[in-house]
Structure 1
Amino acid sequence: MPENVIIVGGGLSGLAAACALAERGVRVTLLESRPRLGGRAGSFTDRTTGTQIDNCQHVTMGCCTNFQKFCDTVGVSELFRRETQLNFVGPDGSIDTLASSWLPAPLHLFGGFRRLRYLSRADRRCLSRGLRSLARTRPANDDRQTFADWLREHRQTPTAIERFWKVVLVSALSETLDRIDVASARKVFVDAFLANRRGWEVQIPTVPLDELYGSRLTDWLTNRHATIRLKCGVEQLLVEDDRVKAVELRGDERLDADEFILAVPHQRVAALLPESLRTIPEVAGLDCLESAPIASVHLWFDRPLTDLPHAAFLERLSQWMFNRTELQSDDVSTPPHYYYQIVISASRSIAGMTQEQVIETVVAELAEVWPAVGEAQLVHSRLVTEQKAVFSVLPGADAWRPAQQSFIANLQFAGDWTRTGWPATMEGAVRSGYLAAENVLARLGRPEKLLAPDLPTAPLSKILLGL
Structure 2
Amino acid sequence: MSLAVDRYDCVVVGAGVAGLAAASALSGAGARVAVVERKPFVGGRAYSYPHPALQEVVDSQHVLVGCCTNLRHLCGASGIADLIRWYDGYVFLEPGGRRTNLALSGLPAPLHTSPSFAAAPMLSLRDKLAIGTALQSFVRGYPKDDSESVASWLRRKRQPDGAIRHFWRPVVISALNDTLDRCSMRYAGQVFHETFLRSAEGGRLGIPTLPLSDFYGRVAQHCEAQGGTLYEKQSVERLEQRGEEWAVHLQGGGELIAKTVISAVSFEHVPQVLGTELMTAVMPQGVAGFCHSPITSIHLWYEREFTTLDHAALLDTGIEWMFHKSRIRRSPAGQGSYLELTISASHAQLKESRETLLTRSLRELESFFPEARTTKLLKSGVLKEAKATFSVLPGMDRLRPAQETAVPGLVLAGDWTQTGWPSTMEGGVRSGYLAAEAVARQLGSSRSFVQPDLAAAGLMRWLARE
Name the TM tier (shorter chain).
Answer: over 0.9
**1:207 is aligned to 2:215:** no
User: 1:284: Cα distance to partner?
Assistant: 3.1
TM-score normalised by length of structure 2: 0.94
Structure 1 residues 3 and 351 mapped into 2: Cα distance closer, same or farther (>3 Å)? closer
**Paired residue for 1:74?**
78
Aligned runs of 1:354-365 on 2, under 5 Å? 354-365=353-364
C-alpha change, 1:79 and 1:275, in structure 2 (3 Å) is same
Task: Report the 3-state secondary structure (helix = DSSP H, G, I; strand = E; otherwise coil) of the residue aligned with 1:372.
Answer: helix
- 2:400 is matched with which residue? 401
- The corresponding residue for 1:446 is 445
1:285-296 aligned at under 5 Å gives the runs 285-296=286-297
Is the partner of 2:129 in helix, strand or coil?
helix
1:146 to 145, 149, 152: 149
Percent identity of paired positions between Structure 1 and Structure 2: 39
SS in 1 for 2:408: coil
Could you tell me which of 192, 195, 198 is aligned with 1:192? 195
Give 1:203's aligned amino acid: G
Counterparts of 1:40-189 in structure 2, within 5 Å, are: 40-54=45-59, 56-135=60-139, 139=143, 141=145, 143-189=146-192
- Aligned residue in 2 for 1:306: 307
State the partner residue of 1:24: 29
Aligned to 1:234: 236
- The aligned length equals 461
Is 1:49–1:329's contact at 8 Å kept on the other side of the alignment? no
Closer/same/farther in 2, CA of residues 157 and 452 from structure 1, 3 Å limit:
same
Cα pair 1:162 1:315 within 8 Å, conserved: yes
TM-score after normalising by structure 1: 0.94
Residues 19-48 of structure 1: CA deviation (Å, up to 9, x unaligned) = 111111111111000001111111112335
Partner of 1:287: helix, strand, or coil?
A: coil
Q: What do residues 416-464 of structure 1 show as CA deviations (whole Å, max 9, x unaligned)?
A: 0010000000000000000110111122122111111101113522545
Q: Contact 1:43/1:208 (CA < 8 Å) preserved in 2?
A: yes
* Structure 1 contact 317–344 (Cα < 8 Å) conserved: yes
* 1:331–1:34 distance in 2 versus 1, CA, 3 Å: farther
Q: Paired residue for 1:255?
A: 256
Letter paired with 1:337: G
Please say if residues 14 and 35 of structure 2, whose CA atoms lie closer than 8 Å, have aligned partners that are also in contact.
yes
Look up the equivalent residue of 1:234 and give its one-letter code.
Answer: V
In the aligned structure 1, how far is the partner of 2:447 from the partner of 2:394? Answer: 33
Give the gaps of 5 or more residues in structure 1. Answer: none
CA-CA distance at 1:93 after TM superposition? 2.8
Distance 1:145 1:330 in 2: 44
**Cα distance, 1:351 vs structure 2:** 3.0
CA-CA distance at 1:145 after TM superposition: 2.0
Structure 2 CA distance for partners of 1:26 and 1:465, relative to 1, 3 Å = closer
Question: Closer, same or farther in 2 for the Cα pair 1:150/1:305, shift >3 Å?
Answer: same
User: After TM superposition, what 4+ stretches of structure 1 lie above 6 angstroms from structure 2?
Assistant: 327-332
Does residue 7 in structure 1 map to residue 12 in structure 2? yes
Q: For 2:201, what is the secondary structure of its paired residue?
A: coil
Task: Look up the SS of the partner of 2:202 in the other structure.
Answer: coil
Q: What amino acid does structure 1 have at the position aligned with 2:208?
A: P
Residue 425 of structure 2: aligned partner: 426
- How far does residue 115 in structure 1 lie from its aligned partner after superposition? 1.8
Q: Secondary structure at the match of 2:90?
A: strand
Distance 1:391 1:218, change over 3 A: closer
Is the CA contact 2:301–2:380 (under 8 Å) kept in the aligned structure 1?
A: yes
Contact 2:417 2:431 in 1 (8 A): yes
